[in-house]
Amino acid sequence: MPRGRPPTGGLIRLKNGNFALRWTELGVRRQVDLGTPSRHEAERQRAEALLSAPKPRSHEPPTFAAAANAPSNIRTIKERRSRFDRFVLPAIGALPVDQVTTEHVRDILLALIAKGLSRSTVVHVLHDVSAVLAPLFDVGVIPANPCARIHPKRLPFPKVVEKKRMVLTDAELDQYLRWRHPVDAHAEALADRQGVALLARHVGGLRISDALALDWGWINQASWQELTILNIKTRKTRTLELTLAACTYLVSRWALRGCPSQGVIFPACDGSARGKTSWAKALRKDLARCWGLEVWDGVRWVPGRAPTQRERLLLHGDALRSRLDWHSFRRLYVRALADDGVPEQAARQLTSHGSALVHQVYLPEARALPEGAQGNLGAAAAAITGTLVQIEKAKKAKSLRKLRGRTRIRTVDHRLVSLDEHPETGSIIPQEVRDFLGVPAAETPKKKA
């Protein structure tokens, strides 16, 4: 039956023995109990219902611009309307939807390809136009969906050269983690980025979205040895063992933040207060300043020494290699697993990699990172901890100035002292953090005679 025609409906028998009239209207299945077990009576009521049903009203089809701007509750409506305004509406926005043809849509896509836009952008535009026209086809406003005959694989996309990914070495990462920002106002943001980089290198090759979603409640605060990670894309969780460097950083940050039992670990990095810059751009800017390519003269950043060939490739890339991004730490983690001889199946479980055929459900037990794949970043983690202490000291001094001479007593959380009951975790709290918080030093367990 062609779409758009009024449905004739059908009779079905319910469990109570009566007949019911079932039909589909605008994609929604409807059903009415006729209240009779007689088929003859049910057929009569069905005929009367068809005669009394309102006939479809004829109306002028809307323009594509009006259909595209119709209210929608999809999550990416802002991005979709932005693509419409830039690429689609100038070409077919004034046309009625029943006059939009396959040639119109194909010409728009070919023009985007000629401008050099990416394949994903072109495919997004095709899906956006189809999402507007498909419901109109379902209700009979247009005779066919013009996008149904266009397949992305048949579009003349240029061949893309697969670029080699640039990855930091452990030595370069260690240098970045030890660097401190010369401007106090930006020191906390840098320390957060360094903490995310350290966790991405040591804990399952965290993606940037997974790292920013980390919560204090996902850490086993009784032993500080396990961390539960939520994969934002698949909504699946896995539990990994914390390395010594990651545990040192997390315990120190937890103590300096007041020992919270829950809450986002990086609240200032959730994206709500960020501007147009990106995480990758901020990382590359940090590295340029860490390496001395830009120097702070007390007022502004000025050009420093000339970059080496490797530094130029990491920061800018070339025709065969892509510049550095935050996913570099995930690649560094995977390469460390391969260099240490970790089997592929175990590496997939550690990094949550897998396809539809080989992907396995994550096991509930914690998975330890092999000793050889951990890297020597313990001193770098202590350096970040020192930065956090300096930031907290500056905040405390500022708050004391606001109190105009009044003193404020800082209490020590009992959970910090209880960490000393676990020598394997109590010993990793840096002495600098203990001195700032007033936590007594961990006692060395006495050997029994």
Query: What is the Cα–Cα distance from 177 to 161, expressed in whole angstroms?
Result: 33
From the list 390, 382, 415, 399, the residue with the least C-alpha distance to 255 is 415
The CATH code of domain 170-271+322-391 reads 1.10.443
pLDDT at 84 over 90: yes
From the list 294, 328, 376, 375, the residue with the least C-alpha distance to 196 is 328
Query: What is the Cα–Cα distance from 396 to 410, expressed in whole angstroms?
Result: 10
pLDDT band with cut points at 50, 70 and 90 for residue 273: very low
State whether the Cα torsion 244-412-213-366 is positive or negative. Answer: positive
CB 110 within 8 A of CB 154: no
Query: What is the Cα–Cα distance from 89 to 101, expressed in whole angstroms?
Result: 14
Label the pairing between strands 164-165 and 10-13. unpaired
Per the model's pLDDT, the better-predicted residue between 397 and 246 turns out to be 246
pLDDT at 449 over 90: no
pLDDT at 55 over 90: no
pLDDT band with cut points at 50, 70 and 90 for residue 232: confident
pLDDT at 99 over 50: yes
**pLDDT score, position 293:** 93
Query: What is the Cα–Cα distance from 39 to 25, expressed in whole angstroms?
Result: 23
Q: Which runs of E-coded beta strand occur in 316-442?
A: 321-322
Domain boundaries for CATH 1.10.150.130 within the chain: 64-154
pLDDT band with cut points at 50, 70 and 90 for residue 96: very high
From the list 260, 195, 255, 224, the residue with the least C-alpha distance to 389 is 255
> Could you give the 3-state DSSP secondary structure of residue 263?
coil
**pLDDT score, position 438:** 61
pLDDT at 21 over 80: yes
DSSP-assigned beta bridge partners for residue 296: 301
Domain boundaries for CATH 1.10.443 within the chain: 170-271+322-391
pLDDT tens-place string over residues 351-410: 666 543 332 322 233 344 554 555 556 666 667 777 777 777 776 666 544 444 433 334
Report the range of poorest mean pLDDT among 11-25, 129-143, 280-294.
11-25
The CATH code of domain 64-154 reads 1.10.150.130
Question: For residue 387, how many C-alpha atoms fall within 13 Å in the half-sphere facing its CB?
Answer: 27
Q: What is the DSSP letter of 282?
A: H
CB 186 within 8 A of CB 390: no
Stretch (H or E) spanning 111:
helix 102-114
Q: What is the DSSP letter of 305?
A: S
DSSP notation for 359-387: --PPPSS-BPPPGGGS-S-HHHHHHHHHH
DSSP-assigned beta bridge partners for residue 28: 25
pLDDT tens-place string over residues 111-148: 999 998 888 899 999 999 999 998 888 878 888 899 98
pLDDT at 411 over 50: no
Task: Round the average pLDDT of the chain to a whole number and report it.
Answer: 75
pLDDT tens-place string over residues 313-337: 989 888 788 888 877 777 777 766 6
Cβ-defined contacts of 24-27 (< 8 Å, 24+): 26/138, 26/139, 27/138, 27/139
In the chain, what is the straight-line distance between the N-terminal and C-terminal CA atoms, in Å? Answer: 92
> Could you give the 3-state DSSP secondary structure of residue 191?
helix
What mean pLDDT is predicted for residues 304-308? 92
DSSP-assigned beta bridge partners for residue 33: 20
CB 381 within 8 A of CB 249: yes
Query: What is the Cα–Cα distance from 19 to 32, expressed in whole angstroms?
Result: 9
Query: What is the Cα–Cα distance from 425 to 243, expressed in whole angstroms?
Result: 11
Q: How far is CA 258 from the centre of its chain?
A: 27
Rg of the chain over all Cα atoms, to the nearest angstrom: 31
Cβ-based burial of 324 (10 A; exposed 0-12, middle 13-18, buried ≥19): buried
Cα angle: 112, vertex 117, 119; to 5 degrees: 95
**pLDDT score, position 135:** 87
Query: What Å distances lie between residue 174 and 194, 291, 322, 378, CA to CA?
Result: 10, 12, 22, 9
**pLDDT score, position 252:** 84
Query: What is the Cα–Cα distance from 307 to 284, expressed in whole angstroms?
Result: 13
Query: What Å distances lie between residue 180 and 57, 120, 193, CA to CA?
Result: 70, 38, 12
Burial 352-376 (b: 16+ CB within 10 A, else e): beeeeeeeeebeeeeeebeeebbbe
**pLDDT score, position 8:** 60
**pLDDT score, position 372:** 52
